[in-house]
Amino acid sequence: MAIANKNTMLKSVLFMISLSLALAACAETSSGSSTDVAAAKSNTATQQAEVAGNVAGEGMEMPLDGTSVATFDASLALVKQHTNEENYRSLEKAISYLMAFDISVRNDKARLASRLNGMNGYEVVAKYNKDKPTPAKSGPRKAPTDV
């Protein structure tokens, strides 16, 4: 039950960040004065800082938003902020591997983002470990026999 609450909260956080970014983009393209645009940017940055500060838990548990490449990159940035370097490097390694070797992705980041949509960092790393081929096993080497 606690995991469901965390996932719901994380989805809400990611939605708020996406909404803030969209509002910032609209504010930049509006015909308002430059002070209005500056105020909107300041408010958006403050909201993003508050949202990021309210995120509880470990970053690798946050679901990735793969609805677009931009939201995917934003969710990865959020995960990076709340994850230690070793875990984040394992996530980056898994994403790089899937990008290069997953046949359904074909080196297209948008396809990869849509395939990983909703998965958390641990699930992505597990997928990488599952899809990664195991090295061929060879039996013990026998010593040559004298004839």
How far is residue 85's CA from residue 113's CA, in Å, rounded to a whole number? 22
pLDDT 10s digits, 63-106 = 999 999 999 999 999 999 999 999 999 999 999 999 999 999 99
Percent of the chain with pLDDT over 70: 52
Top mean-pLDDT range of 1-15, 27-41, 74-88, 125-139: 74-88
Give the per-residue pLDDT at 108: 95
As a whole number, mean pLDDT of residues 27-50 equals: 48
Question: Would you place residue 37 in the very low, low, confident or very high pLDDT band (cuts 50, 70, 90)?
Answer: very low
Which residues sit opposite 120 in a β-bridge? 63
- Measured CA distances, 124 to 2, 30, 52, 97 (Å): 21, 39, 22, 11
Question: Would you place residue 33 in the very low, low, confident or very high pLDDT band (cuts 50, 70, 90)?
Answer: very low
How far is residue 15's CA from residue 93's CA, in Å, rounded to a whole number? 26
Side-chain-facing half-sphere of 22: CA atoms under 13 Å: 7
As a whole number, mean pLDDT of residues 23-34 equals: 53
How far is residue 88's CA from residue 107's CA, in Å, rounded to a whole number? 21
User: What's the distance, CA 102 to chain centroid?
Assistant: 17
